[in-house]
Amino acid sequence: MNFDFSRNHFELFGIPPLYQIDTIQLEQAYRDIQSQIHPDKFAHLSDAERRLSMQWSTQANEAYQTLKQPLGRACYLLHLNGVDIHEETNTVMSPAFLMQQMEWREAIGEARAAKDTSELEHLTGQLRTEIQAQQHQLADLLDKEKNYPKAAEIVRELKFMEKLREEINYALEALDA
């Protein structure tokens, strides 16, 4: 294969490797690249060009999806800085955080059992606020203090919170059906 996997996602879009990025700039760069390489631009060309365009376009989508989401971006930055977040093996979380998680799960479970859509939506809002607070902290840790081990800890916590968010969405969907 000829295409250049060595460029990291930030380099691909020509943006600085930071947690706090200009999302409009990212979006624009992504659209500019897709405008050049999307399979629709190669539909009338040779098999080789069509295949490569699919691979490139796939790669650009992957890179964009990773950087677009704050959590994906944080994981990727940690990865670039040689810090593995050890999702599977490192499950040591602070007792306070775990306690909080249990409370969340209980609240979601109760709202789900009571088919209380507005409570579920209220919980979504509350969760969003907490996630935002964590993200602020993450920005300082990654971009200013460069404290990667501590950042990895926050990322692990955020992953738990993302799962909560999914659970709420799942409950809302189940009530819709």
Q: Does position 75 bind other proteins by CB under 8 A?
A: no
CA–CA distance from 150 to each of 11, 84, 88 (Å)? 25, 12, 17
Q: Does position 79 bind other proteins by CB under 8 A?
A: no
CB of 34 to other proteins, least distance (A): 6
Query: What whole-number distance in Å separates Cα of residue 63 and Cα of residue 165?
Result: 23
Are 90 and 156 contacting, i.e. CB atoms less than 8 angstroms apart? yes
Q: Which one of 9, 53, 104, 155 is in contact with other proteins (CB under 8 A)?
A: 53
Are 161 and 127 contacting, i.e. CB atoms less than 8 angstroms apart? yes
User: Could you tell me which stretch among 35-43, 92-100, 108-116, 133-141 binds other proteins (CB under 8 A)?
Assistant: 35-43
**Position 68: which residue type?**
K
CA–CA distance from 175 to each of 23, 87, 107, 117, 118 (Å)? 34, 31, 16, 8, 11
CB of 80 to other proteins, least distance (A): 19
CB of 19 to other proteins, least distance (A): 20
3-state SS class at 92:
coil
CB of 40 to other proteins, least distance (A): 6
Q: Does position 165 bind other proteins by CB under 8 A?
A: no
Q: Does position 88 bind other proteins by CB under 8 A?
A: no
The footprint of other proteins (CB under 8 A) covers 1-4, 12-14, 25, 28-29, 31-40, 43-49, 52-54, 56-58, 61-62, 64-65, 169, 172-173, 176-177
